[in-house]
Amino acid sequence: MDRARFSPAGTANPGPVGLSPPNPSPPNPSPSPPSPSPAGPRVAAPGFPQRRMRRLRRTPALRRLVAETAVTVDDLVAPLFVREDADQPLPIRSLPGHVQHTVTSLVAEARRLADLGVPALMLFGVPARKDAEGSGAWDPDGVVQRALGELRGALGERMVLMADLCLDEYTDHGHCGLLDPAGGVDNDLTLERYARVALAQAAAGADVVAPSGMMDGQVAAIRGALDDAGRHDVAILAYAAKYASALYGPFRDAVDVSIADGGDRCGYQQDFRNRREARTEVLLDVAEGADMVMVKPALAYLDVIADTAAALDVPVAAYHVSGEYAMVQAAAERGWLDGPAVALEHVTAIKRAGADIILTYFAGQLAATLGA
């Protein structure tokens, strides 16, 4: 394009842009009539034509040099599922590429991820039997506890072992806590069970327990139980701003959970219309002893991630959840978009918004392309 066309008020072309004298003042309002130029109206951006944003986008190396955000394999956490009664890995219909693992295949997958440089995994269990209390969650012989022991034995400290701490996979009604006689979720009764789960997971080898049930006071209850047992070393990643989201759909297939009587989690998870409320949630969790906090889901909540990163000094995690993965995979399978490119764009946006840690079902795939 002919840059002279954009000279302020029709002044002479000041010569090559790099040699032009500094001109900090904005272009004077033109006394002349609007330009009939086919290029359209005068560009209003201050600084043009001295300032040209495209200069730093010219080559891949320039773009790399000025990139503000880089997702690395160090940022990633891989969610994994282990099923108690499986004798072979079972594909998860709505999470293509993911399976309900046996303990053996889980250990093999964790090794593969560790070799790719993924520093952490988040483990979910699918028990063979469910009951009203979800007792499999704290059974020392429960599926997650057994799997943690095997992972620790196989991997040593090569990977951070995180365990999702909740009851919904273990209760026959599918809620994240114990029910009161009226069918509601009893917050305070549930806290005592969460404390048991934390102790069982810690004893089995978890580095990090991650309470995801959105009960009030859950972080304090868990921190207290761990400290009383002398487990000051076990960290808490709190699902702090967790919204009641339709994007968890595929996850429910992954863990065989359906909520009784067509229920939902709106009585304990956050309402997606609310933003300020998330700030209170994350501040409360840090005050209760959370070492890290999580925002979940991720892409539809970038404002919440940004608010959280601005409000806190602790590491901020974001969970790019099952539905976010499934949407990309489904469209990619149809050839409607480039799956790996969208995956990278999504996790980069999540990091750009302020997340330090990203849980994503793309962890393995990204690690393979990002390099360790």
Question: Does residue number 355 form part of the binding site for ligand PBG (CB under 6 A)?
Answer: no
Q: Which is nearer to ligand PBG, 27 or 170 (CB)?
A: 170
Question: Does residue number 168 form part of the binding site for ligand PBG (CB under 6 A)?
Answer: yes
The correct pick among 198, 321, 350, 353 for binding ligand PBG (CB under 6 A) is: 321
Interface region with ligand PBG, contact rule CB under 6 A, candidates 13-21, 59-67, 134-142, 164-172: 164-172
- Note whether 177 and 215 are within 8 A (CB): yes
Question: Residue 90: in which H helix or E strand, if any?
Answer: strand 90-91
- Confirm whether 242 is a catalytic residue: yes
- Secondary structure (H, E, C), 130-160: CECCCHHHCCCCCHHHHHHHHHHHHHCCCCE
Interface region with ligand PBG, contact rule CB under 6 A, candidates 35-43, 162-170, 186-194, 328-336: 162-170
- Note whether 119 and 160 are within 8 A (CB): yes
Question: Does residue number 281 form part of the binding site for ligand PBG (CB under 6 A)?
Answer: no
Q: Which of 130, 175, 242, 265 is catalytic?
A: 242
How many positions of this chain bind ligand PBG (CB under 6 A)? 9
Q: Which of 173, 296, 346, 351 is catalytic?
A: 296
Question: Does residue number 100 form part of the binding site for ligand PBG (CB under 6 A)?
Answer: no
Q: How far apart are alpha carbons 179 and 187 in whole angstroms?
A: 9
Question: Does residue number 270 form part of the binding site for ligand PBG (CB under 6 A)?
Answer: no
Q: How far is the CB of 150 from ligand PBG (least distance, A)?
A: 21
Q: Which is nearer to ligand PBG, 168 or 281 (CB)?
A: 168
Question: Does residue number 308 form part of the binding site for ligand PBG (CB under 6 A)?
Answer: no
Q: Which is nearer to ligand PBG, 212 or 270 (CB)?
A: 212
- Residue 68 is classified by DSSP as S
Which residues have CB under 8 Å from 76's CB, separation 6+? Answer: 118, 119, 120, 347, 357, 358, 359, 360, 363, 366, 367
Whether omega before 49 lies within 30 degrees of 0, making that bond cis, reads yes
Angle at CA of residue 69, ends 123 and 78, nearest 5°: 10
Q: Quick one: which of 319, 201, 233, 313 has its CA closest to 269?
A: 319
Q: Which is nearer to ligand PBG, 190 or 212 (CB)?
A: 212
Q: Which is nearer to ligand PBG, 265 or 351 (CB)?
A: 265
Angle at CA of residue 10, ends 7 and 12, nearest 5°: 70
Q: How far is the CB of 244 from ligand PBG (least distance, A)?
A: 8
Q: Which is nearer to ligand PBG, 145 or 212 (CB)?
A: 212
Q: Give CB contacts under 8 A, 24+ apart, made by 256-265.
A: 256/126, 256/169, 257/168, 257/169, 257/174, 258/174, 259/173, 259/174, 259/175, 260/172, 260/173, 260/174, 260/175, 261/183, 263/173, 263/174, 263/175, 265/175, 265/176, 265/214
Q: How far apart are alpha carbons 161 and 77 in whole angstroms?
A: 10
Q: How far is the CB of 305 from ligand PBG (least distance, A)?
A: 16
The correct pick among 166, 219, 290, 343 for binding ligand PBG (CB under 6 A) is: 166
- Confirm whether 130 is a catalytic residue: no
Question: Does residue number 251 form part of the binding site for ligand PBG (CB under 6 A)?
Answer: yes
Q: How far is the CB of 13 from ligand PBG (least distance, A)?
A: 57
Q: Which is nearer to ligand PBG, 49 or 130 (CB)?
A: 130
Q: How far is the CB of 82 from ligand PBG (least distance, A)?
A: 14
Q: How far apart are alpha carbons 345 and 83 in whole angstroms?
A: 32
Q: How far is the CB of 248 from ligand PBG (least distance, A)?
A: 4
Question: Does residue number 212 form part of the binding site for ligand PBG (CB under 6 A)?
Answer: yes
Question: Does residue number 164 form part of the binding site for ligand PBG (CB under 6 A)?
Answer: yes
Q: Quick one: which of 77, 83, 149, 166 has its CA closest to 118?
A: 77
In the structure encoding, which two tokens stand for residue 347, read together? 């996790």
By annotation, the residues acting in catalysis are: 242, 296
Residues that bind ligand PBG (CB under 6 A): 164, 166, 168, 212, 248, 251, 265, 321-322
